[in-house]
Amino acid sequence: MSAFNGTPLDTLLRGLGIETIVVTGVWTNMAVEHTCRDGADYGYNVVIATDGTSTISEEWQEAALNYVMNNIATKMITAEILLYLLILLLPALLVNRIFYRW
């Protein structure tokens, strides 16, 4: 069920120097949860986009996000993730714009 299971995902991410993964998808209480668990087990910082996941009922969604994910992943909404990425990337974008005159 995990995106890591039977795939070269871990090898690819390590090759790129990735330390943090952001997980989204369907079946929050199954495939998403398993991917988060495996990611944490492989040593990645795991972020789950709470508004970027879904499952078959609100009850199962809440259980997966509010009980299971508490010890595995950092929970953020998509807007928070995008803002965080913008803050991280903004200095590099500004330097490139100044030096390369886009």
Any idea what the CATH number is for the domain that residue 95 is in?
Answer: 3.40.50.850
What 3-state class would DSSP assign to 55? coil
Q: Is residue 1 part of a domain?
A: no
CA angle 81, 35, 71 (to 5 degrees): 70
Q: Is residue 2 part of a domain?
A: no
Average pLDDT, the chain: 91
Helices (H), 16-55: 33-41
Q: Is residue 57 part of a domain?
A: yes
Q: Is residue 25 part of a domain?
A: yes
Q: What is the pLDDT of residue 68?
A: 80
Element containing residue 46 per DSSP (H, E): strand 45-54
**What pLDDT digit, counting tens, does each position of 37-54 carry?**
999 999 999 999 999 999
- Whole-angstrom distance, CA of residue 100 vs CA of residue 102: 6
| pTM for this model (two decimals) | 0.85
- Whole-angstrom distance, CA of residue 73 vs CA of residue 81: 13
Q: Which domain holds residue 24?
A: 9-100
- Domains in the chain, number: 1
Q: What is the pLDDT of residue 101?
A: 52
Q: What percent of the chain has pLDDT over 90?
A: 76
Q: Is residue 3 part of a domain?
A: no
**What pLDDT digit, counting tens, does each position of 8-38 carry?**
999 999 999 999 999 999 999 999 999 999 9
Q: Is residue 60 part of a domain?
A: yes
Find residue 54's DSSP bridge partners. Answer: 26
Taking residues 70-83, report their average pLDDT: 95
- Whole-angstrom distance, CA of residue 7 vs CA of residue 34: 14
Q: Is residue 91 part of a domain?
A: yes
